[in-house]
Structure 1
Amino acid sequence: MATHLDLEEQEQLDQIKHFWKQYGNLISWLLIAVLGAFAAWNFYNYWNSRQAAQASAMFDEVDRAAQSGDAARLERAFTDMKDKFGGTSYAQQAGLLAGKGLFEKGNVDGAKAALTWVADKASDEGYQAMARLRLASVDVEAKAYDDALKQLSATFPAEYAPLVADRRGDVFALQGKKAEAIAEYQKAYSAFEERSDYRRLVEIKLNALGVDPRGATTSTETKK
């Protein structure tokens, strides 16, 4: 019996040696690839976590600079943020914050530079939309109405359509183009939710131009 088992074990060992000789290299390379991918994934997660932590800390610095009212410090902090962590959402938020803070301190060029960077470089459409709306506001303050309309002619996500129409109405009203302003305000009024504060604001603007959107709606319904 012992002899039979020895022979059987030897046969199994020979089969294993033959199998390993034929497929050993392939198995080794597959193991290396799998383990390498696993190590790379762990490193990627670690790197992302570290980047996020550093970006968060730098965003806090931008926020503190904005709250301090120090325009020069704010501009430096945002420049560092943009250079080191420009691909993160923190940098895009920092750009919006810097644009607002710099504009409030009279640094119009710095505000436009920060907002333009977000509008051009942000990966999130929402951040891009907010940056363009704020750029349009900056242009309106500077009475650069054509530039404001160019900002508002960009592609916006659907949910921003009412805000864009309202802002376009503002520009046309300031240009003395009453009919165009009314048309844009009516678009905004129709798109905002019924109980929205924005809708009430647009209604006030239409009233100032001699239009009662609720009265017009009632008149239409009466004719039906």
Structure 2
Amino acid sequence: MASHLDLEEQEQLEQVKAFWKRWGNLITWVLTAALAAYAGWQGWNWYQRDQAAKAGAMYDEFQRAATAQDADKAAAAAGDLKARYPGTGYAAQAGLEVARLQLDKGKADEARQSLAWVAEQGSEPAYRDLARLRLAGLQLDAKAYDDAAKTLDAVKSPEFAGLVADRRGDALLLQGKHDAAKAEYQKALAAIDKTQDYRRIVEAKLATLGVPTVVEAAPNAGAVQ
């Protein structure tokens, strides 16, 4: 009986050896790749958290400068963020905020540069498109109509469609193209949600072009009979 078991065990052992000889290297490589991928994933998550924490600390420094209305110090802090942590949301937010501060301080050229960076390098599509909308406005102020049109063409987020049309209307109006401007403002009004206060601004623009946007109630409508 013992001899029989020994032979059976020997046969099983030979089968295992044969299987491992044929597939052992492949199994080892697969396991190694899986372990490496897991380690890489863990390492990437740690790296992302570390980057975000460091960028957050620098963003706090930027906010202190921005709150103090120190445009130069804020620009320097935003520049450090963009240089060291360009892929973070903090860098994009700092770019948008410093552009507003620069504009308040009369530094339109610097504001355009800050917005241009976010438009090209911002970490999220929403940041990039918001920067493009603001940049287009500054380009219109500088009468750079072709540049503004190209900037608006790059805005792809559906939620900004109404604002893009509104900005296009501004560009056309500034160029004396009133009919085309009306069409864009009407597109904007159709795209902007009725609960948004910005609709009133678009309605006012249409009103100056002779386009009524509010339907008045008929006389005696709702009167008690």
Counterparts in 2 of 1:6-155, with a 5 A limit? 6-122=6-122, 124-145=124-145, 147-155=147-155
CA distance in 2, matches of 1:42, 1:153: 39
> How much has 1:141 moved relative to structure 2?
3.9
Is contact 1:189–1:199 with CA below 8 Å preserved after alignment? yes
CA distance in 2, matches of 1:119, 1:78: 15
Count of aligned positions = 217
The alignment yields a C-alpha RMSD, in angstroms, of 2.6
SS of the residue aligned with 1:214?
coil
SS of the residue aligned with 2:164?
helix
CA distance in 2, matches of 1:152, 1:14: 72
CA distance in 2, matches of 1:14, 1:176: 90
CA distance in 2, matches of 1:24, 1:154: 53
CA distance in 1, matches of 2:29, 2:205: 71
CA distance in 1, matches of 2:64, 2:146: 35
Q: 1:80 to 1:15 in 2, by over 3 A?
A: same
The one-letter code of the counterpart of 1:116 is A
Is contact 1:102–1:110 with CA below 8 Å preserved after alignment? yes
> How much has 1:67 moved relative to structure 2?
1.5
Q: TM-score, normalised by structure 2?
A: 0.81
Q: 1:190 to 1:33 in 2, by over 3 A?
A: closer
The one-letter code of the counterpart of 1:17 is K
Q: 1:8 to 1:107 in 2, by over 3 A?
A: same
SS of the residue aligned with 2:214?
helix
> How much has 1:115 moved relative to structure 2?
0.3
- Contiguous gaps of at least 5 residues in structure 1: 219-224
> How much has 1:105 moved relative to structure 2?
1.9
Corresponding residue for 1:161? 161
CA distance in 2, matches of 1:42, 1:123: 22
CA distance in 2, matches of 1:143, 1:30: 61
CA distance in 2, matches of 1:20, 1:150: 63
Is contact 1:71–1:107 with CA below 8 Å preserved after alignment? no
Is contact 2:59–2:90 with CA below 8 Å preserved after alignment? yes
Percent sequence identity over aligned pairs: 52
Cα displacement string for residues 140-199 of structure 1 (whole angstroms, at most 9, x for unaligned residues): 444555544443344433321211222233344444543343332222223223343122
The one-letter code of the counterpart of 1:102 is Q
Greater helix fraction, Structure 1 or Structure 2: 1
> How much has 1:126 moved relative to structure 2?
2.0
Is contact 1:59–1:81 with CA below 8 Å preserved after alignment? yes
SS of the residue aligned with 1:213?
coil
- Contiguous gaps of at least 5 residues in structure 2: 219-225
